[in-house]
Amino acid sequence: MNKVTVLGSLNVDTILRFKRFPKPGETLPLTGKSIAGGGKGANQAIAAARSGAQTTFIGKVGQDQEGTFMVHQLTDSGVDDRYVLHSDAANTGSAFILLDSSSENRILIDGGTNQQVTPTDVEAAKEAIVDSDFLIAQFETPLDAIVRGFEIARAAKKRTILNPAPATKAVPTDLLAVTDLIVPNETETETLTGVHVTDEYSMIKGAEKLQALGVENVIITVGSKGAFWMRGTDHGFVPAYKVHAVDTTAAGDTFIGALSAVLRADFSNLSEAVRLANRASSLAVQRLGAQPSIPTKAEIEAAERI
């Protein structure tokens, strides 16, 4: 069983459903509204735990009902919440997810306490990082905290996985220097490298540019098409499973969490881990909501037998 620590965000998601996105100045009725747990960090941690990893979370919530709700979302899925801090300086993070009838989404985020995670907070969780096989982070918490977490992991010879989302060009070189695996989607790849991802050739060029920035192992996810991987000079493309998607909100987070649960520390099974992560993601997109959609290990195994 892999041990995974996730440093990241916790958001309460408000999901607004409608037939189509309104035009400027237009008013349209909702077809549905729901509340669910979210945040890229929390999604990835829950996906890792439900996929069988022993998972710990590092993050921060407010002294509010939303914070209590988010901690319960973690613990109900078996995630260790010892390093989830409570702050009265801001509210728990929140997100508003706009979802049309074709399952296209647009997301607005209020970072709240996610933006208050500090390097000192990460230092306090050093024991969990050192005891893990993998440390995962995204860009919904401050970069200096992520850099410190990755430095601790690298010093302890633990593997680091960076999901550079939301996309930003200002990725510190000292963060990339301590990143073992980077997992952007096609948009994030273009932001980081300038390569417009359209086919396998451009995926190779994008991955090579990411390697030139200092990260040897790369996965580029391309939505319903699948995922491209590169390890050293080896590379390949793993097609996605064809399903009817109803909500793609947590698809990428499910992919990363499930990947971390089965990936070997030497990345020798990277291609197979990507395939299993694709399977988990394909189950998630068939359900509504971020965390409610994330499958369990038993569900993934059952789908593998079909």
pLDDT tens sequence across 194-209 = 999 999 999 999 999 9
- Binding positions are 11-13, 39-43, 140, 185, 221-226, 247, 249, 252-253, 278, 284, 287, 289, 293
Q: Burial letters for 226-241: b for 16+ Cβ neighbours within 10 Å, e otherwise?
A: bbbbbbeeebebbebe
Residue of 81, 121, 180, 253 marked catalytic: 253
**Predicted local distance difference test score (pLDDT) of residue 147:** 98
Domain-by-domain residue ranges, the chain?
3-21+33-305
What's the pLDDT band for 127 if we cut at 50, 70, 90? Answer: very high
- pTM for the structure as a whole: 0.94
| Packing angle, helices 40-50 and 251-262, rounded to 10 | 40
**Predicted local distance difference test score (pLDDT) of residue 249:** 83
**Predicted local distance difference test score (pLDDT) of residue 187:** 95
In CATH, the architecture of 3-21+33-305 is 3-Layer(aba) Sandwich (3.40)
Express each pLDDT in 40-50 by its tens digit: 999 999 999 99
**E-strand stretches of the chain:** 3-7, 11-17, 32-38, 54-62, 80-87, 93-99, 105-110, 134-137, 159-162, 181-182, 217-221, 226-231, 234-239
What's the pLDDT band for 290 if we cut at 50, 70, 90? Answer: confident
What's the pLDDT band for 274 if we cut at 50, 70, 90? Answer: very high
Q: Per-residue pLDDT averaged across 158-177, rounded?
A: 94
Query: What does the block give as tokens for 293?
Result: 């959609």
Of 281, 305, 276, give the one whose Cα is nearest residue 293.
281
Is the distance from CB of 250 to CB of 294 less than 8 angstroms? yes
Rounded to a whole number of angstroms, the CA Rg of the chain reads 18
Q: Per-residue pLDDT averaged across 16-20, rounded?
A: 94
Q: What angle do CA 175, 176, 178 make, to 5 degrees?
A: 70
**Predicted local distance difference test score (pLDDT) of residue 305:** 83
Express each pLDDT in 203-229 by its tens digit: 999 999 999 999 999 999 999 999 999
What is the distance, to the nearest Å, from the Cα of residue 22 to the centroid of all Cα atoms in its chain?
29
Of 107, 73, 59, give the one whose Cα is nearest residue 250.
107
DSSP state of 91: P
Of 287, 291, 284, give the one whose Cα is nearest residue 77.
291
**Whether pLDDT at 103 is above 90:** no
266 is catalytic: no
Residue 298 neighbours by CB distance under 10 Å? 10
DSSP state of 185: B
Residue 191 neighbours by CB distance under 10 Å? 18
